[in-house]
Structures are given as structure tokens and as C-alpha cells.
A and B are shown apart, each in its own frame.
Chain A
């Protein structure tokens, strides 16, 4: 769009409409001519506004109103044709496609419906081409190509529809039209032309598809052959028409791409032989070029024939023709002459003569800007033949020569880089090594030449060339990972030459380089890098507020803010991205996912730091809103990519966590975007690691949580996840599966905790019940559960039990029931493991499960069984500190019903053969960890628990003197710890000591001074 305010545009459009209405009345309004006139003057915005106003005007006949979206779309199409900014062009084309679709949808029988479909197909083809051409990331190449293929296939569908429509319309017309019926004749001719165009475009689909595969690969060949066949058929149908001739040329092009030069030359020769007229000029020129490309190919080397074609074209059509084709023909002819010249002996006089002819052909190419200009200049240098070689220190080398050498080295480097990417994908080590060496050599050569060029520049050097040198150096620095250099050069170009392309590209590289420097820095202080990022981004926002660079910078800053968890800033940056920007959807998905992660993290925050329920709900709601917008936008933008897929998955997660399983299922199963759909179809958008498992995990929860339950689907999801993990062939597949189930259990546990914390008892029971039904079904299913699925059952029951654990209060019967079921699952797991040699040989790997079993047994109130399980573990190895801690905790928990448990928690239990207690108790645990800094946390846990055990034991004593004595002992425990570790393990632990001490002081009837008492005592008598 031109930078013109909407209000101004509307006013001018209103003025136009009013003027027309006032003049003749609306029915007489020459809409077509007027719109055409506006388009011709390039007043596209005004034309679109004018059309929009017509649509709502009551006096306008319906037949004209119908065409408004079509005309608007055509206007946009024309506008896009002249737009150089690819982002703006993309937006215009998307809008045009939408309008054509609207038109087709509303009036499928309209005579222009077929043309609308052809236009849509054209836009889709361009999108596909853009996707293929702009794909720079070799890791994402396959996904990108797949996206392009989708576009092309969609285009094919549109063209098939267009073909049908044109044929149907033609069939409605009389076969013979009387010459007097001029209008009907014109309409028929136009329809036939539209049909031919659609067919030509349709034949091009396979040609485009071929380009989405590796050149020379079987699928590429298959598509090229199909395209050649289609073009050939088209040629046969339209032999004498320009469509037919074009089809013949394309047929030749397909053969050329296939390396079938003989067939290609057959097509081209036929076209070259056409009589020279104004109509055939273009096709003859293109065919001559095609023929020259074939003849000068290294596998052909038919230089004489190439020269003949080149000379013939020059004579017949070449005068004053300096377009791209003409220049290319001359360049190729010059190459052919040069090759002929070089083939002759040095002393042969014809050698010089042929070189002279080559020069004649190449001079005009070197003088005209274009694709071949630089190569032509180099060819001229080569044809000179007697120039002194360039000095290594740069003597005699001009800016232009150094620049050219640098460019060529850069091109070589990029070519090698592309081959390297292919070799890396194919894991061809030898090729990788060779290509890496070549890349490094080309890079070094490019750097040397470009630096030399920079030093050879002077005031006469064109600033565009000089800035190109600077930009190439900037790019090379970026490519080599020299981010400081890239940032300096990029910022220089952006700041000094912001209106030029290198300036804009420089700004992008500078920003990206600083982001890399920030993320690569291992320093604690990254303020400098942060400030640089901010500085460049602000410069971009200020300099190019409406450009792609600004959107990209905002997206970068948004990612940056998200990484730093500055969500408000992230949303500010989101606001900077235009709603029409192709990055907007991506940014919304990123921001939405970040807000959602922030919400999830907030749930795990300590009580004091957790946001209020209102704030948390707002965060959640905001996340959902932004994600929904992003998904809607990205859905419209085209095929699904990994970002969109991740966004939909996050939306489904929100639905599950907010008790909307039905909605979650709708997202998961969405026929186009649904993560389950994508995973099942093997869509590259779902190829990211863990995407499939996360999808199935979520599906499992949704199917279980929905009313009525979809248990069959839940089981299928469970089977799918197991198959997926096993299919990976990973040696650690079983462990992975276990980890997946454990994480699923944890997610459920957290969900239940949230429901409990927010007082949603009904939902808490409903979710728990739903899972219970499913878990029972899994436990009872034929063949029993696998080790991993039993683990999941155990973990999930554990999660359900924990969800009912209200912390501090005695466990409810429901919770105990769940812990018992969990224990049963773990026991079955251990039985299964007994039979599995893998676990038999590695008993240590089952210790975690046995500890979990003991925990469940203890929580279910079965202390003896729990102790037995723990003692068995400790008898194998008494120094398992986590088992010792768990055993001491078990005794301490038992103390609530049997005070003896408190004593055993401190002193230990279960004497072994040597008379020493197998279970150490807190006292020994603290002794064993006191001098081990790595167990500092356990030491403090033991000291605190010991004091707590004494304190609780004291409270059970009826004899006051005895109670006081025990309380004093508890206090003494804390005092000793204070003397031993004055900082008491840090702020958090110290607070816990303080709280414990205050409780003891209170029970003793002392002042509740907490640690202040110890500090004062220490000052008064430091040695005690």
C-alpha cells in the first residue's frame, strides 16, 4: 500500500462517488471504465475504496455489486504486480486470494468464477515458488518443500475447477455463432482463451513440483516427465495458437531440465524456425536461448551450432534488443566463440579472430546491468588474455576487479554451502570433509578480495557497489560466526545507508548478531549486549516502522522478552507487529505460548510468590485469546507449519487444564490443524521431537476427562504412544516410555492440586473418577500392563492420592485408597521386572520403584509393609541416603499414631546381625552428612526433623517435667546446629529453624524470640 492515510483515501473515494452520482445518476455510472482508469493511473487504493463504497450503495444494480470483490481482487493483483517489497506484495496477494474466494463462494455460477479460480491458482503457485526460493535453513528444507507442494497441489485443484467451469460455460453456448452476434462471439473467444490459459498453468504444476525435490532425484524426474507430457498434449491441442507455442517451449524446457538435450533441441528448433513476426519474436528469442543453453552445456559442447543460432538471432531479431533474454543469448554466444577460440592452437590466427567475435558479443552484456553483467565483465578480462597476473598484495587490482573476484568467491562459497547441506543430510562424511574445506577456502578468498576492494575504493566508486562489498563482508562475518564483526558492519550500513537494501539487510544481521552475542555470552552481566539489542531494535522501529524489518525486530524482541520472562514487554512488542504482517501470527503464537508457560510456572511458585487467582485466570485467559488469534491468522496464511502446530497443541493444553476436554478434543482432532491429525498423517509440521508424544499424552487426558469418556480412543492413544517410543529404536525406549508416563502422572497431579487449591471439589472428584475408571481398565486389560504402563498407573494413582492430600491433615480415605492402588501397581511392576532379565541383571534400576512403593504403602497407612520394603533396600546397601531419609520420615509419620515412631525417627530401628540399626534415624543421618558439603541440604533436613520429632514427642508426654526436659533437648539440638552452622543453610532454611524454635519456646512458656535468643546467647557467651 502507498503511505496514505485511510481517512484521506476514503474521503477521496467518497468524493469520486459523489461526483459521479451527482453527474449522471448511478445507473449510468461507467464502473468498468472508471476502475480501469484508476488502475491505469496506479490509484489502486482509491480504486479499492471506490469499489467498497459501491458495494454498500443502495442504487447500485445487483449485477454490478456481485462483481465488486472480483474487481477489488483484480486491483490488488495489479497493485501487487508493481510492488517490490515482498512482504507487502505477499499481503496484497493474500487479500486478493481471499476476495477471489469470497467471489467464487458467493457466485459459483458467475461467468468470472473460472477466472477467479485461475487467479487463485496463480497466487498459490507464486506462494509455493516463494517458499522454495526463500528457504535458507537447510534443516527445515524438507518441511518447507512440503509446504510448497501443498500450495502447488491446491493450485492444481483450483485449476481443475476452473477448467470445468470454463468447459461448462462453453458448452452452454451454441456451437456455431452467427457473425452478426459479435458479443456472443467475443465471449466465446474469451472463454476459450481462459480455458487455454488455465490448462497451460495446470501443466506448469508438475514443473514446479519437480523443483521441490532434489535435482535429478526420481520424484523430480517423474514430475518433469509428467509436465513434458502435459505440455506436449497442450501443444497438440493448440498447435497454431500462442498457448500451443508456449507449451512447446515449456516442453523443451522440461526436457532440458531432465538433461534430454536432444528432445529439448527438437522443441526449440521447431520454434526458432517459425517465421519472424511481431507475434513470434518473443518465443523465437526464448527458444534461441534455450537452444544455446543446451548446445553449450558441458555434456554437449556443440559450440559451432550455438554460434550459428546466436548469429542468426542477432541478425534476425537482435537489433536494439537489450532485454534479459537478448543479453543472455549474446553472453552464451560469446562463451561459444571463446570455447571455439581456445580449442585452436595458440599461434592459429583464427584464435584471435574468434576471441574478437566473442568480445563483440559480450561487450553490450557487460555494459547493461543484469544477471550476466558481472560474468560478462570477467569474460572480457579473460578474453584480454595478456594482463599481468594480480599481485598478492593487491597491486594493479582495481576496486571493480577485487569486487568481482570477491563476488565470485562468495557465489562459489554459497554453492559449496548448498552442497554441504545436502552432504550433511546424507551423512556423507568424506563429502562433508571435502566440502567444508572448499567452503572455508572460498570464504577466505571472498574475504580477502572484498577487504581489498574496500581498501581500493575511492570517491569515484559507486556507493551501491561499495555498500554491497560492506554487506557481503557483513554476511560473511555472520556466516563465520564472527558476530561482533557482523554487528559492526550491519549497524554501519543500517545507520548510514538506511534507505538502501544493504542498509535494511544490515540492520537485520546486526540485530541477529547481537542476539547471538547475548545468548552465547557466559558472563553474568549481559547489560551491554542487552543494550545493543535494544538500540538496534529501536533504530529499526524508528527507521522502518511499516516495513518487514520492523515486524521481524519486534518478533525478535518479543522472543527475547519471553526468554527473559518480561511478558508485559512481550505484549508491547506484539502490538508493534502489524496485523497484516506474515509474522503477526507467529508472534501471537509465541506470545500466547509464553503466557501459557508463565501461567503453568506460576502454579508451581511458592505460596507467597504465587499470583492471585484473579491474576492467574487473567493470564490464562490472555494466553488463550492470543493463541486463538494466532492460530486463526496462521490458518488463513496457508499450510500448517511447526509453529502453528505447536500453537494448536498449546490451545488444546489450555482446554484440558481449564476443564474443557471437549474443546481440547476438537482442537486435537481438527481435520486441518489438529495435532493428532498431523501426527497420524506424518505431516512434517509435527515432526519436532516429542511433539507426537505430547499430543498423545494430551489426547489421553482429554479422552479420559471428557463426558462421556472416550475410553477406546484413550486406549488407542496409549497404544500409539507406546508404539511410537518403541519404534524409535532407541535403546532407552523403555526408560523413555516410563518417563513419559511419569510426566503424565505429574501433570495430572498438578491439575488436581490446582482444582483443590481453587476449591473446585466437584471437578476434582470428577477428574479423579474419570482417571480411576481408565486406570482400572488398563490394569485389567488382557495380557496385563507393560512395565511402563503399570508405572503410569502407579504414578497416576499416586498423583490422584496426592491431589487429595491436603497437607498436614490426616489423609482422607479416598487418598489412602489411591495410594493403595498405586502400591498395588508398583508391586505388579516389580513382579514383572523379576521376570525380565533386563531388570534382573540391574537390580539397582528398580530401587526408585521400590522407594515409591514404600512411600505409597506408608501413605496408605501400611507402615509395617513400608518399613519392610525400606529395610530390604537398606540391607542391600545401608548408605542409600534417600532411602534412609524416607525411612526416618516413615517413623516420624508413624509418630502421629504411635509416639514411639518419633523416638525411632531419631534413633533408627531394625537392628541387623551386627546389632546396629539398619535404619539410621535423623541423628545418624546428620552425623553422616555433617562434613559432606554435597549433602548440606540433607544435613539441615535431618537436624530440623530431629528437633521436630523431639518436640512432637514431648507434646505427647503428660508428665510436665519430662515434657520440659524433652523440649529442652529439642532446643539444644537446634542450638548445637546453630553453633555448628551459624548461617543455618541460608535464608529459607534459617526461617524454618526460626519457626521450629519459636514453637519450642512457646511450649516451654518462654518468649517466642526464635533465633534472636541464640544470637544473643552467642554474643553473651561466644565460647559455649
Chain B
């Protein structure tokens, strides 16, 4: 072998080694940075990434997404679609993946997760069966208790159960979410448990949970959001207990304080407000509150469905039969599987 041939062999070997080094799992953080390596440790709370002899550990609550080495392109695309809220596209992309060809268990789990998650999101937005989506999620939760998606799955399961009016079961899953070690997760879980308790008409207990959230020391945007959500929860507990005037006052205060673009909070606030007014027999005020949800915050399917169901009655009370019919038709068309459409 002459020098030239030896050199060529060396180049080929190097190229192969480099290719191995380049093909890696990637962890993208919420703050924007990205790390590559081999995922060697996955738990609900942390991810361990190894690159040569280096080991990096990431808290799951700081992770934006994880991409696996040699994962199917459709999985990568589906992940993007999910993050952009295009759940139907995600479902279509995931269905194209041949499971038999996936030999790495983490990738198979990720595919399973995204399938269940997209189905759940669609069901919550009013298209697709909540029960079917719940089954998929439940199966995932059972089979992958160490997945880094675990807490997200618990929260989603809680949401689905709440939407199915199974607030007690929802509470169980939200309590699992509360086991997460991070204050922002604990706060969110507290708010969700509180809401589930309101759903069970356990207003005093709910109030207690919301107070616990408010007592958690946390700063930053997310903590502020959760505290506002907890105050809103207290308002709905007050309304449930018949203290509608106090509840209205509190909700209006929250609406005034909240960032205009904290859309979900506003959607919830106006829903609570509408319910308070209805409970107090103030139909015109209730109509306006629910109309806010319909016009400005309709992206939140379950809340929109609730607003439409209320509007259908309130428009009729206001002698606007055509608007009542429109609201009812939209409810049936957009949220056929929602409990609100069944009434």
C-alpha cells in the first residue's frame, strides 16, 4: 500500500468516526440552547446526556424538546406540528411511521406519547373522543412511568377527566403532577387540584388548595400567572358557595390586573364571571362575560364550548333567537363531543 492509498484509508476511517460522533440525541432547552450526545438516563425529572466522557444532566422542566438519533423524519415533523398546535397534522405524520422499523424503545415511546397527546389535545378542543384519547394516555402512563413526558401526561389525563366531569379522578392525576419537584409545577398542580375540587363542589377544600398555591414563594412570570389563576380559582369557589358579589369583585380585579395577552387566564376569568352573573340572575352581564370568551378567547375549546352553551340560553333570554340558534349550531359543529353540546 503506497502512501496515497494509506492516506485514503485514513480519511475513510476518520469520516466514519466523525459520522458516529455527529449522529446524536439532542436536547433543546426552553432558554434556546441545545446539547447533543447520547441520552443515557431518562426519568420524569431529569435527562442525562453523555458526550464522550462528559455527562450533562437537565431538569425536565427546563427542556423544550428532545430529538433522538436516527428518529424517523415524520416524528421530528410531528413534534414541530404539535408545538405549533397543528395536532391533526401531527396525527397524520405519526400514522405514517412504521412501528416495526423503530428498534429504539425511547423513540417508540416518544411516538406513542405524541400520538396520545395529539389525540388528547384534539379531543379537548372538541374534535375526537375524549375517552379514546384518555385510553391512549392512560396506557402510556401505565407503561412509561419513567418517561420524561410523565408529568405532562398526568396533567393531560387530569384535563381530559375534568372535561368528562370526572373531577375526582382528575384530582388524582393532578396530585401526581404535584409530586414534581419544581415550584412552578407544584403551583400549577395546586390550581388544577383546586379546580377539580370546585368541580366536585368541595368549595372549602378548593379554597384551601388555592390558598396553598398563593402561599408558595415563587417569582417570575409563570409564578405570577399561577397566582392569578389561584385567585381566580378562589373566585369560582366563592361563586360556588353562593357568594357571587364577592366572587364578581375578585374576578373583575383579576381581569384588571392580568396581562392583556394572558389569554387563557382571561378566558377562564370571563367564564367564571359569566357563571357568577348567571348564578346571581344578572343575565345581561352574564351574556357580556360569555361573549368575551366567544369573541376573544375561542381558542380554548372547552371554555369556548361552555361559553357557547351559556350564550345559547342567554341570547334566547335577550329575545335574540337567531343568535341563540347560531351559538347552538356552532357548539354542535365545533365541539360535537363536548359535554356542553350534549345538554
Contact = CB atoms under 8 A, between A and B. Distances in A.
Interface in B62-119: 85-86, 88-89
A89 interface: no
A459 B261 contact: yes
Interface string B273-316: 00000000000110110011001101100000000000000000
B298 A451 contact: yes
A691 interface: no
A395 B86 contact: yes
A473 B296 CA distance: 10
B260 interface: yes
Nearest to B288: A488
Contacts of B299: 454-455
B284 A528 contact: yes
Interface size class, chain A: 20 to 34
A492 B260 CA distance: 9
A485 interface: yes
A496 B292 CA distance: 13
Contacts of B89: 395-396
Contacts of A459: 261
A484 B296 contact: no
Would you call the interface of chain B mostly helix, strand, loop, or mixed?
Answer: helix
A583 interface: no
Interface string A775-815: 00000000000000000000000000000000000000000
Contacts of B287: 484
A191 interface: no
Interface string A31-64: 0000000000000000000000000000000000
Given A395-B88, A459-B261, A484-B291, A492 B298 contact: no
A470 B86 contact: no
B295 A463 contact: no
Interface in A428-476: 451, 454-455, 458-459, 463, 470, 473
A497 interface: yes
B261 A488 contact: no
A41 to B, nearest CB: 37
Given A395-B88, A496-B260, A484 B288 contact: yes
Contacts of B292: 488, 492
Contacts of A489: 295-296
Contacts of A395: 86, 88-89
B227 to A, nearest CB: 20
A485 B298 contact: no
A642 B156 CA distance: 64
Nearest to A522: B319
Interface residues of B, number: 17
A395 B298 CA distance: 16
Given A395-B89, A463-B261, A492 B291 contact: no
Contacts of B296: 454, 470, 488-489, 492
A488 B287 CA distance: 10
B88 A488 contact: no
Given A484-B291, A492-B292, A496-B260, A455 B86 contact: no
Nearest to B92: A395
Contacts of B323: 482
A455 B126 CA distance: 15
Contact of A455 (B261, B285, B298): B298
Contacts of A396: 86, 89
A102 to B, nearest CB: 49
A482 B320 CA distance: 11
Nearest to A525: B284
A507 to B, nearest CB: 15
Contacts of B295: 473, 485, 488-489
Contacts of B291: 484-485, 488
A463 B263 CA distance: 13
Contacts of B260: 496-497
Interface string A356-393: 00000000000000000000000000000000000001
B239 to A, nearest CB: 20
A773 B296 CA distance: 72
Contacts of A496: 260
Contacts of A451: 298
Nearest to A459: B261
A433 B261 CA distance: 42
Interface string B254-273: 00000011000000000000
Nearest to A528: B284
A393 B295 CA distance: 18
A488 B323 CA distance: 15
User: Which among B261, B287, B292, B323 has the greatest number of chain A C-beta atoms within 10 A?
Assistant: B261
A492 B85 CA distance: 26
Contacts of B285: 528
A487 B89 CA distance: 36
A344 B232 CA distance: 63
Interface in A100-133: none
26 contacts: A393-B88, A395-B88, A396-B86, A396-B89, A451-B298, A454-B296, A454-B298, A455-B298, A455-B299, A459-B261, A463-B261, A470-B296, A473-B295, A482-B323, A484-B287, A484-B291, A485-B291, A487-B288, A488-B288, A488-B292, A488-B295, A488-B296, A489-B295, A489-B296, A496-B260, A528-B284
Interface of B: 85-86, 88-89, 260-261, 284-285, 287-288, 291-292, 295-296, 298-299, 323
Given A473-B295, A488-B288, A496-B260, 4 more contacts: A393-B88, A451-B298, A454-B296, A485-B295
The 5 lowest CB-CB distance pairs between A and B, nearest first, are: A496-B260, A455-B299, A528-B284, A488-B291, A488-B295
